[in-house]
Amino acid sequence: MAGVTDTKPRAIIALDLLRFASALLVVAFHYGAAFARAPSGSSAIMLRGLPLSDAAAPFTWFGWIGVELFFVISGFVIALSAEGASAGAFLRRRALRLLPAAWICATATLLVMSVATPGPMLLRRWADSMIFAPGIVQIDPSYWTLGIELCFYLLIATGLGRAGLSEAIERRAVLLGAWSTAFWLFALLADWAATPLMDLRSAQLMLLPHGCFFALGVLAWAMISRQRTPGRITLFGLFLATALVEIAGRTVERTHALRIVESPLVPILVFCAGLAVVLGSLRLQPWLARRVDARTATTLGLMTYPLYLLHQEIGAAIVAASMRLGAPFPAAAMIALTAMLGAAWWVARRGEPAVRRWLAAAIDGAVALSRSRGPGRDNRPSASPPAG
């Protein structure tokens, strides 16, 4: 593997494309299967009484696997970006990456829901979403993953110290993977008694069901950037087996909710294909660079996050409004998808950068002020940490 990662690429095209494909999988799951068979609370209210078709369900029911792929990509990217960073610089980058789009999307969802399904709790849910309250019902069901991501970031940040070492990041990932493996081993030994805990918020925030996916991403980066040792390969295999158990358990839960009978084979195959892309992402870089415009790939990657946050409740509102104006369900779903892609592009290219600049200035100003007032310091502001 020597020479593959002599320098870290600024943008990994394969990961940007995989991110976007994973988001489309989640959108397809909701629009093609969940809206017709198992909509969330607010979506159920908006779509009630409409002739929704579930004809696409056999081809989209497994789209939830995009979330598991998000977690793997997150582990990979965090291991890459946290290496050599202090805890403060790492957390600054994560804040600038997560907060601006979430604030914009939560506010947009609040505005739409205030018209579509007004209620006394909307403002509270918006406020909870704005501060990333991890254990609270938020403005859109898709926000459930953000608290999990936040807990993972905090776990990694505790090991960075003044300059993050790859070994410390990997050690935490291995412990996290072992923690998750123990949880799923208990599930198997207890005849799947732990499966209902998948959706228990406290278990999710302790990274019990999903820690194996983050660990896979971190180990994938370790094997690519350093060496494929027997120990790393063994741990990767163990955490992959754990991930497949989680996917099997999630399949049981999803198919029950959708009232269909399916095996976990399809989501497992899709997940393994995505994992292969992660493992081969740097080797694919030269080939993809000749065939895919890097700026387009970057834009698609940036669109993933707002598309994920916007598509569910606002999408249901657009589907409902379109159908009540006479559009058949397939056309209404395409209208919603087109609108969400356009909104995601605007957030990624226009709205988020503007909010990020303001937030970066606010963070850096607060840090500089704090340092200038610290004991033993003069009044000159310290240099700002590097941009993420």
Query: What is d(CA 125, CA 163) in angstroms, rounded to the nearest whole number?
Result: 37
**Per-residue pLDDT at 382:** 36
**Per-residue pLDDT at 369:** 84
Shortest CA distance to 196 belongs to which of 127, 129, 142, 253? 253
Shortest CA distance to 66 belongs to which of 15, 20, 25, 13? 25
**Per-residue pLDDT at 11:** 85
Is residue 222 within 8 Å of residue 177, measured between CB atoms?
no
Q: What is the DSSP code (8-state) at residue 39?
A: -
**Per-residue pLDDT at 198:** 82
**Per-residue pLDDT at 384:** 34
**Per-residue pLDDT at 128:** 93
Query: What is d(CA 43, CA 241) in angstroms, rounded to the nearest whole number?
Result: 35
Is residue 3 within 8 Å of residue 288, measured between CB atoms?
no
Mean pLDDT of each 10-residue bin along the chain, 388 residues long:
45 96 98 95 92 95 98 95 84 94 97 94 93 85 94 88 74 96 88 74 94 98 92 97 95 93 96 98 96 95 97 98 97 98 98 97 88 59 36
**Per-residue pLDDT at 381:** 38
Confirm whether pTM is higher than 0.75: yes
Is residue 69 within 8 Å of residue 18, measured between CB atoms?
yes
Q: Which residues contact 174 (CB under 8 A, 6 or more apart)?
A: 215, 219, 235
**Per-residue pLDDT at 187:** 83
Distances (CA, A) of 153 to 43, 93, 169, 321: 31, 11, 11, 39
Shortest CA distance to 210 belongs to which of 262, 173, 235, 237? 173
